[in-house]
Each structure stands twice: as C-alpha cells, then as structure tokens.
Structure 1
Amino acid sequence: MSVSGFSAPWWFLLLLVVAAVTVGYLVAQRARRKRTMRFTNLELLDKVAPRTQGWSRHVPAALIIVALTLLTVGLAGPTAEAKVPRNRATVMLVIDVSLSMEATDVKPTRIRAAQDAATAFAKGLTPGINLGLVSFAGTATVMQQPTTERQPVVAAIDNLKLAQSTATGEGIFAALTAIQGFSSVVGGADGPPPARVVLMSDGKQTVPDDLYAPRGAFTAAQEARKEQVPISTISFGTDHGTVTIDGREVPVDVDDGSLHEVARLSGGEFYQAGSAEQLKQVYSDLGEQIGYEVKDTDASRPWVMLGTFSLIVAAGSALFVGQRLP
C-alpha cells in the first residue's frame, strides 16, 4: 500500500485519542489486578471469579485499537500516485521528408522506418488526445489538423512524399499555427488544452542557413517556449548514411546538435534513434509520457476497509472469548 501524501493530515490528531484509549485500557487492567489481589480468600475467589482466558482476553481490545488507528489514517486522506489518461491535449507530429530520408542506413529506408514508427505511435496514443501531422522539406505542409480520430493521421503518414531541402523552422511554425487554430476552437472555460510538438528529423536545416533567422529552427523553438508548447525532438539516422543525388553519392549524417538545441530552447526533450527499433522505442516512451500523467489519487479506501474489518473481528472475538461485546 504505497502512500505519497495525505490530503487532511490534521486527522492524525485523533491518534492522541487512540493513545489515550490504549493507556486507559492498560491502567484499567492494572487496577483490576490490584483489586483481585486484595481478595485474600483465594479459594473463594476461584469460585466467584473463575480463571480468565489469559492473553486472549486482550484480543478484542487490541483489534479495536488497530481499527481506530487504521480508520484515523483513512480520515487523513492518504494519496497514491497513479497514471491517469490525459484528455484534450494536442500533439503535432512534425516529420522531416527531405531527400536524405531515402538513405538505407536504417532498413529498409529512413522514411519507411519513420512511417512505421509514427503509425504505431498514432495508433497507441491515448484516445482522448488530439493528434495532427506536419511534413516539411523545403516548405512545410499540414497533412492533418488535430483530431481524436487516428485513421486520418495514419493515412496522412502513409502518404508522405520526399522533396528537396530541409526547412526545420517552417515545420515548427506550421505546427504552432495548427495548434493555435485548434485551441481557439476547442478552448473553453479551462483555457486552451496543453500542447506539444514531436519533431523528427535526420539532417541539418538548409533553408534558411541561419538557425536564428526569422523563420529558422531556433527562432521557432523560442516562439514555442513563449506559447508554452515544448518540442520533443528525435534525431533519426546514423553517421554513415548516404543518398544518390544527380548520380553523386552524398553523405547525409544526422545533426544531433541543432535538434538538441531546439529541444532545449523550447523546454522539451531530445532523443536519439539510430535504428528502426530505437525509433519505435522513442515513440513508445513519448506515447507513455504524453498520453498519461501521474496524479495523486485518493487511497483511503483500503485503510477504511481494513479498519472496518478489524472492528468486525474485534466484535466477533469479544463475543467468542468473553460472551459479550467489548
């Protein structure tokens, strides 16, 4: 029975009453023994007051004290950490579809492995979460607006097409715009739902060259932080990937540094995946992290049940041992 805290700890003051009852019982037993010892005619005493059942006569009282203690803990409102599915949250998947995703260093190709992992992520995400998709190469495209329906997102992932260049900042800005538009529609009295961007890329931004340019990745990450939308970045691929462009073999190494900085600037986390299995594991971890939150929930029921059960056993043992209720 794991307890992380108490919602009403002042109820523990009742333990002083429990302690007083315990002391009172011990004092009463001691006084009773003294009165018995004053009865000098022991032979007559055996006839008028038969020998008691020994330690067993204390069982009802002990159980009552245990029951009072357990019920006091229950009244104090013990809490326990529990995973609770999130609702209303918005997640935008932002996937790099630049030509470097044709590299076969991750089997069968980076893009196919990315599609498989993203599909599994979408299907396994908590049903109450709104999921959308953005793809980016030289420009960014919102493939699917946030929705709780998973099939449109899965279909959009399957239809990803590769193109030239890598405009990481555009992908982030497109996701933020989609989140803003969706939040303005669904936001109620509780305000807009919490949101997050999951950015997966295998290469360095090429459009524009400056990551701090107005439409650069670092500028977009700073804007995401202002809007309280953390970005979880995934660096996908290896240091020995190559693609063939115009008959030339071009190296396409992953760029961990810029993606790590995007995560830091936005207040998010950075992940690295060098294989299809690692990417699936990253997405699985993110799904668990995004789909559920740990909350303190009421854990008083077991204590109240045990306390009540102890009272019932105390009453039963009193009738069995002493033929009377305590």
Structure 2
Amino acid sequence: MTFLSPWFLLLLIPLAGLTVAAVLLRRRRDRFAVRFASLPLLDQVVPERPGWRRHLTSGLGLLSLSFLVLAAARPEADIRVPREQATVMIAVDQSISMRATDVDPSRLEAAIAAGSSFVDELPEAFRVGLVGFAGDAQVLAAPTNDRQAVKDALSRLSLEPMTAIGEGVFTSLDQVRATEELQVPARIVLLSDGTNTTGRSPEEAASAASAAGVPVSTIAYGTPDGVIENGNGPGIRVPVDAAALAALAEATGGTAYEAESSDELREVYEDIGSSIGWISEPRELAPYFAAAAFLCTLIAAALSLRWFARLV
C-alpha cells in the first residue's frame, strides 16, 4: 500500500503524543485517588467504577482519529478486478505424437476435454478462438462469444504428421489482428508436446508476438516416457519438449506450464483462466478509511450514551 499524500501521516505524531499523555494522566490520577482515599470507603461510595468501559470508548475515539489521518493521506493499493473483455486464442498441437497414451486416454483426448472446460470457465464477455497445428496451422474457430462453436471445433481435432509450433502462433496472431478494432487485450494459450519440425521457427513467432504485445502462455503436455505404437515393431519415443515451449513463453512475456496428467492440465487451465480473467488496478482506499472512522465514532458514541448517559 502506498500513500498519495504521505505528509498527512505526520498528524499521527501528535495523536500518538495525545495517547501517551492520556495514559500517563490516568495513572497519575489513580495514584492520587489511592493515596488520599480510604479504599473500603471508596468501594462503598463508588462500588462500580467505569474501568475498561471508559478505556474502550476512548480507544475507539483515538482509532477513529487515526483512520481519518490515514484517509487524508490517500492510501492506494493494487486491487484485483475482473477484466471486462479480452480475446483468447487456443492453439492445440495435432501432431501424431499427441496419440501417446502416457496420459489417459491419450494426450489429444485429454487435451480436448480440458480445453472444453477451460472455454466454459472463461468470462462470458471474452472472445475465444481455436487454432490447430501439425504440418501447418488452421483456424478451426475464429474468435467468438459462442462457446459451443469452439467446443465443437475442439472435438473435431484429428492427428496429422509434423509439428508447426511457430505457424500455430502466427495464425493465432492473425486472428487477434482481425479483432484489433475491439481494442481489447489478447492472449495465446498454446499446448504442445514436441519440438518444432516444420514452418517458421518458434523464435520468429516469439518476436512477432512480442512486437504485437500478445503474451503466449505455453503448456508442455505429456511425460518424458511417452511412446506411440508403430504397428508390430517397437514403439516410437515421443518425450515432451518443455524447454522449447518455456523459451517461447518467456520471450513473449507469457507463462510456461508443464502437465503430465489430465488433472494437472485442468489445474494449469484454471491458473491461466484466473490470470487472464483478472487484472490489478490501483484503487484509492480513502473512502474505506473514512467509513471506518465514522463507524468507530458511531460505536463510541453509542457505548458512551449507554454506559455514561453522555456522548463524551
């Protein structure tokens, strides 16, 4: 928390001095009363002294003044607020390696299920699109508010040879540029399990995304022990390449994730959805401190009337 008018905080110094003076004066008066009065007689004359009640009302008054000083200093803090609009492009790897069953039932099927849940959980005002990439990249769903259209496109994903990660990013960027007139923030979420084997490189794609101001969050999906069956012969190892995807995310200001199971993938999507759906904005807190001061004053006045039949 920061203060836009911090010099008002100097008013806390005399307030602290007033508090110390009140405590010292109270102790001095108590010692004086004990010295010159008979305790048994004092108990009979004043059987019930205010004690903690008077301290409570005084404390509430001092607390109210403190809140007023803080309000005058105009405190400010970053508050998470829901983002009103955004464009999210989901780019999914359709290469043959996504057939590996190291993730049950397979990498692709688990990715489709988790991606559908992710689409459902995004704020309604967000536009969502889908790009599939293998030997090249194709727009399967242009950015839209129609969630079912995107989920239907996800369910139609099929496997093809090769992996064009760079092309997946470039095609997603083209879709983002098509909605630039909306002037809303955009994010690409790219899921893949392998190394780029064709098309423009991820480095070129990262430069383009960075220049466009569009972060790319990547999900390296699968395990180092992934294998795809090859007829009657030995299986082909398809270990996930997390390093290449992490470099892409880092170069664009996005976040790199790794998921080795369908449950982990759902958690990753939940985290991405939270980061996309909310934004931190500076907000002045002075009204809240002023309200707290009013509430403390009101409570102190009510208690004083109840216990002492007076406001002060």
Q: What TM-score bracket applies, with the shorter chain setting the length?
A: 0.7 to 0.9
Residue in 1 that maps onto 2:182: 186
CA distance in structure 1 between the partners assigned to 2:139 and 2:55 by the alignment? 74
Q: Report the alpha carbon displacement of residue 315 of structure 1 after superposing the two structures with TM.
A: 3.3
SS at match of 1:142: strand
Does the C-alpha gap of structure 1 residues 16 and 261 become closer, same or farther in structure 2, counting only changes over 3 Å? closer
1:287 corresponds to which residue? Answer: 273
| Secondary structure of the structure 2 residue equivalent to 1:173 | helix
Asked if 1:315 corresponds to 2:301, the answer is yes
Asked whether the 8 Å contact 1:86–1:128 carries over to 2, the reply is no
Deviates more, 1:245-254 or 1:287-296: 245-254
What are the equivalent positions in structure 2 for 1:145-156 lying under 5 Å apart?
145-156=142-153
The superposition leaves residues 195-233 of structure 1 with CA deviations (integer Å, 9 ceiling, x where unpaired) of 21111111111114xxxxxx2221111111111111111
Quick one: percent identity of the two aligned structures? 36
Equivalent residue of 1:122, what SS?
helix
Stretches of structure 1 that go unaligned for 5 or more consecutive residues are: 34-41, 43-49, 188-192, 209-214
Q: Distance in 2 between matches of 1:134 and 1:15?
A: 59
TM-score (norm 2): 0.81
Alpha-carbon distance between aligned partners in 2 of 1:106 and 1:282, rounded to the nearest angstrom: 15
Q: CA deviation at 1:9?
A: 3.3
In structure 1, distance between residues paired with 2:304 and 2:249: 66
- Residues 257 and 318 (structure 1 numbering): CA distance in 2 closer, same or farther, change over 3 Å? closer
Residue-pair matches, total: 300
Partner of 1:250: 236
**1:83, distance to aligned residue in structure 2 (A):** 2.6
Match in the other structure for 1:46: none
Which residue in 1 is equivalent to 2:223? Answer: 238
Residue by residue, what CA displacement relative to the aligned partner does 1:84-117 show, whole Å, maximum 9, x if unpaired? 1112222111100011111111111111000011
Q: How far does the alpha carbon of each residue in 1:43-82 deviate from its partner, in whole angstroms, 9 at most, with x for none?
A: xxxxxxx989676667655543332222222343344544
Q: Is the 8 A contact 1:74 1:303 kept in 2?
A: yes
Residues in 1 aligned to 2:81 and 2:306: alpha-carbon distance in whole angstroms: 46
Answer yes or no: is 1:201 the counterpart of 2:192.
yes
One-letter identity of the residue aligned with 1:295: E
**Given the alignment, which residue of 172, 187, 198 partners 1:175?**
172
Offset, 1:180: 0.8
Residue 240 (structure 1) shift: 2.3
CA RMSD of aligned residues (A): 3.4
Gaps of 5+ in 2: 31-36, 38-44
Partner of residue 123, structure 1: 120
> Deviation at 1:25?
7.2
The aligned residue for residue 91 of structure 1 is 88
| Worse-superposed segment, 195-204 or 253-262 | 253-262
